[in-house]
Structure 1
Amino acid sequence: MYTTVNEDGILNNYATEPEMYYAAYPSPEQQNRYALAGAVAALFVTALILVAFVVS
């Protein structure tokens, strides 16, 4: 941790910054999993809305 002291004697602590890196483009398998997860989520939300309409 990096610490400085100003002229009044007050400490100021700075967190260490992590090393920056670029994200890797998802592989075709990961893209398929993301699409499947999105479809399941959309189906779940649609089912919740339909159940709410049926109950009310």
Structure 2
Amino acid sequence: MDIIRLLCAIFLPPLGVFLQVGLGIDFWINVLLTLLGYVPGIVHAVWIILSKK
């Protein structure tokens, strides 16, 4: 399942975070980072997916 989340994190970062943690603060931070710049959103999403198991 982590591979699917990581693929989602690369193509649509908020979706990858949503699949990992739901509609929490991490999701909204990722939406903001993705709107400010696509790469920070990807980095944050990958970090959330790999650190929260």
TM-score (norm 2): 0.30
Q: Which structure exhibits the higher relative contact order, with contacts defined as CA atoms closer than 8 Å and separated by 6 or more residues?
A: 2
- Name whichever structure is richer in strand by fraction: 1
Q: Which has the larger radius of gyration?
A: 1
- Name whichever structure is richer in helix by fraction: 2
